Chain A
Amino acid sequence: MSDYQHLRDKAQTLRRHIVEMTAAAGSGHPGGSLSAADIVSVLYFEEMRLDPDRPDWPERDRFVLSKGHAAPLLYAALAERGFFLVEELKSLRKLGSRLQGHPDAKHLPGVEMSTGSLGQGLSAANGMALAAKLDKLDSRVYVLLGDGEIQEGQVWEAAMAAAHYRLDNLVAFLDYNGLQIDGPVDEVMSVEPVADKWRAFGWHVIEIDGHDYGQIINALEEARGVSSKPTIIIARTVKGKGVSFMENEVGWHGSAPNSEEAEKALAELIEEA
């Protein structure tokens, strides 16, 4: 486990930013940002080929945050990776900020696609993967989907197309934290049997614990070895992960901590780190 201490530290830093940013903004989506922090930490600090000084570098890897409401997580990762100053994170959701409530690719370096309207990110990722293949680039495209998000029909149109066009340079993560705004995913609109669905659509499916660095890294390694098929990594996660009173609590999907709650959350995150 200690092999991954630098990733664990990064993820805890991202989690602290998420708490601080949403608290300062007075709104935002901490629950689903915290659940995917370990995955995003591996992507930005281990897996992806990026150059913060050249955000338009054609040979870079791409990340599409299809569950765009986890914007605080993406912004924290980009700032920590050096795309802009950490200081700017405080401007989240403020008038004139480049850190819009949901990611706006026009204005913020490192944001590959404007997302937030659910179900649209995988299609864009497919297009990026197709463009890389046309240009014979070995760039890889990563996309993070929410579990509630895959209730959108467009996701399955895109799933079909990614397999049809054999996009083996595309890896999707499903942040399977089991909760959506109205309650447990199983009660609102079950997505099960989720692994079978993706397999039936022609994808290579890997199921992991989305907080286990060894499993995340091994899954990404396995995906690199898959040819002629896209890969989805179905990651079981805990919504609100890392903040005891937010964990598995649906209410923290879309509400920000007040200053007292933020202080408590930060104390826990510092202790753990």
Chain B
Amino acid sequence: MSEKIATREAYGKALVELGRKNKDVVVLDADLSKSTKTALFAREFPERFFDMGIAEQNMMGTAAGLALGGKIPFVSSFAVFATGRAFEQVRNSICYPRLNVKIAATHAGITVGEDGGSHQSIEDIAVMRALPNMTVIVPADAVEAAQAVTAIAEMEGPCYLRLGRPKVPVIYDNDYRFRIGRAHVLREGRDVAIVACGIMVAQALAAAEKLEENGVSATVINAASIKPLDEETILKAAAETGAVITAEEHNIIGGLGSAVAELLVEHRPVPMKRVGITDKFGESGSPDELMKHFGLTAENIVAAAQEVIARK
């Protein structure tokens, strides 16, 4: 876990690999290609890269048209703009006609950092998850992000891939295989299950270590595939541990926590707590400062775990 790579960096490189293998892959960006790392693709395949300028709504619609012309468009911008500014285009021009457009949005969550709350998407998982036909993937590290690029290109239909700005710990080695609709159990325990996504998977693993020191045995599940959710794996963990924590760099309303709560309340109600941003907008600061400020650390997960275990 010593190496750190940003998921957007992994995305940019994976996209070039994909472009080499598949001539139908085209990439669109809205004047952020250096930040989203689609500039790497643009450099190698200038004829298949379209800078659409600062106009996200038109970018989504153009991607829809390219998909109708048999292309596999990857569309990138910051998560706030891809899912917010262009929400209705994603809904009506991409999801409603079920077009093969891949929205790979970077700078998701509060770890955008100093740019502040206007640029920190805390609701993107919620709004993308609520769209019929949409697949939602939140990779935990660079290895998973790269694999997710391949996986979403191989499936037919709209996808939302949520990527981050800062360098984050590499959890997986290259033998790991990400699959859409499958969660990955990183650690098995008896007392509590921590279901996490994105950068919170590393925090969940750190929390499990700390819990173990206190004699608490925790399961850690990476639920990168938020939609479709791996219901079987999560329900099994709930049954085995009897207490569930979710952890995400997102509002506790509508994201992974909600998805897991919806599942548990219908099939296996157990004490549960959602670790995430508690219905607030972000603000300026360094990513590490903001993780502490908004309660997204391993310590916050440990405290939540102790709380739910006490409620069993």
- Which residues of A are interface residues toward B (Cβ below 8 A)? 58, 62, 104-106, 112-114, 116-117, 119-132, 134-135, 153-154, 157-158, 160-161, 164-165
* Min CB gap A129→B, angstroms: 7
Partner of A130, one of B50, B55, B93: B50
Contacts of A153 in B (CB 8 A): 57
Complex CA–CA separation, A105 to B62 (angstroms)? 16
In the complex, which residues of chain A have a beta carbon less than 8 angstroms from the beta carbon of B60? 123
Most buried by A among B64, B70, B71: B64
Q: Which single residue of chain A is at the shortest CB-CB distance from B67?
A: A127
Q: Name the residue of chain B whose CB is nearest to the CB of A130.
A: B66
Query: Which listed residue (A113, A134, A161) contacts B52, Cβ 8 A?
Result: A161
Query: Shortest distance in angstroms between A120's beta carbon and chain B's nearest beta carbon?
Result: 5
B 98-114 to A, binary, CB cutoff 8 A, 1 in contact else 0? 10000000000000000
Known A123-B57, A134-B71, A158-B58; judge A128-B89 contact (CB<8 A): no
Selected from A113, A119, A164, the residue in CB contact (under 8 A) with B97 is A113
B68-101: CB near A (< 8 Å → 1, else 0) gives: 1111010000000000000011001100111000
Q: Which residues of A contact B50 (CB under 8 A)?
A: 130, 165
Chain B residues closer than 8 Å to A105, beta-carbon distance: 68, 97
Q: Which residues of A contact B96 (CB under 8 A)?
A: 104, 106, 114
A129 touches B55 (CB 8 A): no
Q: With the chains together, A153 CA to B53 CA distance in Å? A: 14
Q: How many Å from the CB of B214 to the closest CB on chain A? A: 54
> With an 8 A cutoff between CB atoms, is B154 at the interface?
no
A105 to B50, CA, bound (A): 25
Partner of A161, one of B53, B69, B93, B98: B53
Task: Indicate whether A126 sits within 8 Å of B62 (C-beta atoms), given known contacts A131-B69, A134-B26, A134-B71.
Answer: yes
Total of A-B residue pairs, C-beta within 8 Å: 109
The CA of A123 and the CA of B73, in the complex, are separated in Å by 14
CB <8 Å contact, B65 and A125: yes
Contact A157 B69 (CB under 8 A): no
**Most-contacted residue by chain B among A105, A127, A132, A160 (CB, 10 A):** A127
Given the complex of chains A and B, what is the CA–CA distance between A117 and B96 in angstroms?
11
User: Once the chains bind, are B89 and A123 in contact (CB under 8 Å)?
Assistant: yes
How far is A93 from B62 in the complex, measured between Cα atoms in Å? Answer: 28
Q: In whole Å, how far is A201's beta carbon from the nearest beta carbon of chain B?
A: 12
- Check A128 against B93 for contact (C-beta < 8 Å): no
- Is A154 touching B58 in the complex (CB atoms < 8 A)? yes
**Interchain CA distance A126-B67 in the complex, whole Å:** 11
- B57 touching A113 by the CB < 8 A rule? no
CB contact under 8 A between A123 and B65, given known A131-B71, A134-B71, A154-B57: yes
Min distance, Cβ A164 to any Cβ of chain B, angstroms: 8
**Chain B residue at minimal CB-CB distance from A132:** B69
From A104, A112, A158, A164, B61 is in contact (CB under 8 Å) with A158
Q: Does the CB pair A124–B65 fall under 8 Å?
A: yes
A182–B132 Cα distance when bound, in Å, is: 32
**Inter-chain contact A161/B26, CB cutoff 8 Å:** no
Please measure, in the bound complex, the distance between the C-alpha atom of A112 and the C-alpha atom of B65, giving whole angstroms. 9
- Beta-carbon nearest neighbor of A141 in chain B: B65
Sorted nearest first, the 4 A-B pairs with minimum C-beta distance are A127-B65, A131-B69, A123-B61, A157-B58
Min C-beta distance of A251 to chain B, whole Å: 27
In the complex, the answer to whether A113 meets B68 with C-beta atoms within 8 Å is yes
Instruction: Give the docked Cα–Cα distance between A112 and B67 (Å).
Output: 11
Chain A residues near B64: list those with CB within 8 A: 113, 123-124, 127
**B202 in the interface (beta carbon within 8 A):** no
Cβ-defined contact, A117 with B65, below 8 A? no
Is B27 engaged at the interface, CB distance under 8 Å to the other chain? no
A114 to B93, CA, bound (A): 7
**Interface pair A131/B70, CB less than 8 Å apart:** yes
Smallest Cβ distance from B84 to chain A, in angstroms? 15
Give min CB distance, A202 to chain B, whole Å.
13
B182 within 8 A of A: no
Cβ of B63 within 8 Å of any chain A Cβ, yes or no, is yes
Check B93 against A123 for contact (C-beta < 8 Å): yes
Q: Is B175 an interface residue (CB 8 A)?
A: no
Residues of A within 8 A of B55 (CB): 154, 157, 160-161
* 8 Å CB interface, B109-124 against A: none
Q: Please name all residues of chain B whose beta carbon is closer than 8 Å to the beta carbon of A129 when the two chains form the complex.
A: 65
Beyond A117-B93, A134-B48, 20 extra complex contacts between A and B, CB < 8 Å: A105-B97, A112-B68, A113-B68, A114-B97, A117-B88, A117-B92, A120-B92, A123-B58, A123-B59, A123-B89, A127-B66, A128-B69, A130-B50, A131-B68, A134-B26, A154-B61, A157-B53, A158-B61, A161-B55, A164-B53
The answer for the CA separation of A120 and B97 in the assembled complex, in Å, is 13
Chain B residues lying within 8 Å of A132, measured Cβ to Cβ, are 69
Nearest chain B CB to A115 CB, angstrom units: 8
- Which A residues touch B61, using CB under 8 A? 120-124, 126-127, 154, 158
User: Smallest CB-CB separation from B68: which chain A residue?
Assistant: A128
Chain A residues with CB under 8 A of B53: 157, 160-161, 164
24 contacts between A and B (CB under 8 A): A104-B96, A105-B97, A106-B97, A113-B68, A113-B93, A113-B97, A114-B96, A117-B93, A120-B92, A123-B62, A123-B65, A124-B65, A127-B67, A127-B69, A130-B66, A130-B69, A131-B69, A134-B47, A134-B48, A154-B55, A157-B53, A160-B58, A161-B55, A164-B53
